[in-house]
Chains A and B, each alone.
Chain A
Amino acid sequence: MRSRRALGALIVGVPLALALLGPLLAGGPGPRTASFTLGGGHWLGTDFVGRDVWRQVLLGGRSVVLVALAATALSYLVALPVGLVSALTHRTWLEELLMRPLDVLLAVPSLLMILLVAAVLTPGGVGLALLVALVNVPDAARIVRAAAADVASRPAVEALRMQGETWWRTAVGYVGRSLTRTLAADAGVRLTGVLYLVATAAFLGVGVEPDAADWAVLVDRNRTGLFVQPWAVVVPALLIVALTTGANLLVDARLERRKRT
């Protein structure tokens, strides 16, 4: 298991470092040359509009990583209060009101929801983060509710209630704190799912400019030149594969360790 963790860290390290430090190293834009050329002072050649591929790769990771992190955080921002309230309330109608709509939403395919909105609006990066977060809320809220309901049936919560502690202290101070480990595990799993969704949406042209410096967009736009200049496609595709695979290996190694302790 330790080896899997090391492997995961190694695989995810390269794209993560490129994504976070790349924009600092990229430097200014060079002059545009012919599209899909190899060599000529360009380490990885040029892309579909004649920009230096290596510079685009350096710039292109940040949006994927940041949008995914923001979307994961946002989905918990909504799911936590909904899940906590519905687990701790004694009013059945409130619980039904909060959770039933989410059960129904769970059946709608996630990419479909994003494409539906994209048909009417043109969401930017922030819009994409909001959309992906929204798609993740039903599942996250269900997990929060299940974990919180488990904690809420403990005698300690009963004791807190009988002592006359405020709802806020019971819910956030005790139940919320007891959830952190479950949620940390779930957040890892969710992050890999969100990374997948963000990259796929960007590949389909949702939430990004058509010539944006984004790994998924690079793969999409440079596909036409695959047979002339494969590097412009292969390098960003490999980075996305490394990012998602590495993140998944890391998360799984953490889950395994948790299960054994």
Chain B
Amino acid sequence: MTRLRSWLARRLLLGAAQTAAVVLLVFALTEALPGDAAVARAGDQPDPERIAAIREAMGLDRPAHERLADWAAGLPHGDFGTSLASGRPVSAYLTDGFGPTLLLATLTIALLVPIGVGLGVLAARHEGRLVDRLVSSVTLGVYAVPEFAFGVLLVTVFALRLGWLPPTAVGYGTDLLAHPAALVLPVLVLLSRPVCSLARLVRAGMIDALASPYAAHARRYGVPGIRVRYGHALPNAVAPAAQQLARTIDWLLCGVIVVEALYVIPGLGTVLMNAVAERDVPVVQGLAVVFGVTTVVLNLGADLVARRFAPRSEVVA
């Protein structure tokens, strides 16, 4: 019990340190780099007067630690500063893009776990046979393919050749649920990499678990095959996969940015890319903090789940 508690304390501490690091890093990368935000904002013809004006508007003339303190103090209250391009608060940008991104993420995660685990268990049950070879080869092949290349090929086949699905979400606004056809390709592309990685891990874990002495022993006692497979082997196979799930959050995040750009979905990824293109530093900072902190929290959650499934396995903390 004390070991669990000390592990929990260490893991929570790491999470807090990571959150602080994300905030610091976002600030340092966008403000302390040689390219001054004001100069970058002023564009191709840097006019000294304009740079000075922007600098004053951003408060860049104040020392960096003061600005960091002010900015960081506002974050917990949802005060992310104001956009340079439009003067709107950054939080308004966040609420604008939140809906579509949340929808994409929820759909993807909801489908990811059953499909990934299902494929992994299916391959493990038919180990070495045609089904397994097929699943293993396809998951291995698709695993490393960048989303944009895969997505563009899907558009070519399903929108251009067959005409089954719309090529982009242009014209549907933020209410994507009313147009499920526009969601099929984006979710499919988002699923491609995480499903492959999850299925491979579950397959490997399941094969190990089914070959283990405890599974053999349970079979000798006459425990039905279904219970051995899903009651005993699966939880042990899922533990390493749950940790991998945390890694795939990183991919999902990259994926969301790419998929929103590719299918023109007005979510947080599009807001981020627009802000990067316009060099709207406060908006970029706000989004980066939201994305970064989300990753930290989900990582923490995945570690807790992994610990719950297999308490013996040492989760790094």
Residues of A that sit less than 8 Å from B by CB: 4, 101, 103-105, 107-113, 115-122, 192-193, 195-196, 199-200, 203-205, 216, 219-220, 223, 226-227, 230, 233-234, 237-238, 240-241, 244-245, 247-249, 252
Which 9 pairs show the lowest CB-CB distances between chains A and B?
A111-B254, A248-B144, A107-B18, A104-B21, A121-B35, A240-B149, A237-B149, A119-B284, A192-B144
Once the chains bind, are A120 and B40 in contact (CB under 8 Å)? yes
Per DSSP, chain A at the interface is helix
Q: How many residues of B contact A (CB 8 A)?
A: 56
Bound-state CA distance A226–B249 (Å) is: 31
Once the chains bind, are B30 and A116 in contact (CB under 8 Å)? yes
Known A119-B284, A121-B34, A226-B155; contact A112-B146, beta-carbon cutoff 8 A: no
Per DSSP, chain B at the interface is helix
Which residues of A have CB within 8 Å of B272? Answer: 115
Which residues of B have CB within 8 Å of A204? Answer: 257-258, 261, 273
20 example contacts (A-B, Cβ-Cβ < 8 A) are as follows A4-B137, A107-B296, A108-B292, A108-B295, A110-B254, A111-B257, A115-B257, A115-B284, A116-B25, A117-B33, A119-B276, A120-B281, A193-B144, A204-B257, A216-B148, A219-B152, A226-B167, A227-B160, A237-B149, A248-B141
In the complex, which of the residues A109, A233, A249 contacts B250, with contact meaning CB atoms closer than 8 Å? A109
Which of B254, B281, B296 has the largest count of A CB atoms less than 10 A from its CB? B254
Once the chains bind, are A120 and B29 in contact (CB under 8 Å)? yes
Interface residues in B283-298 (C-beta closer than 8 Å to A): 284, 288, 291-292, 295-296
Bound-state CA distance A216–B25 (Å) is: 28
Which residues of A have CB within 8 Å of B149? Answer: 199, 216, 219, 237-238, 240-241, 244
Which residues of A have CB within 8 Å of B150? Answer: 241
In the complex, which of the residues A108, A111, A238, A247 contacts B22, with contact meaning CB atoms closer than 8 Å? A108
Once the chains bind, are B153 and A107 in contact (CB under 8 Å)? no
In the complex, which of the residues B17, B143, B156 contacts A226, with contact meaning CB atoms closer than 8 Å? B156
Bound-state CA distance A238–B157 (Å) is: 13
Which B-chain residue is minimally distant from A193 (CB atoms)? B144
B145 contacts chain A at the CB level, 8 A cutoff: yes
Bound-state CA distance A84–B25 (Å) is: 26
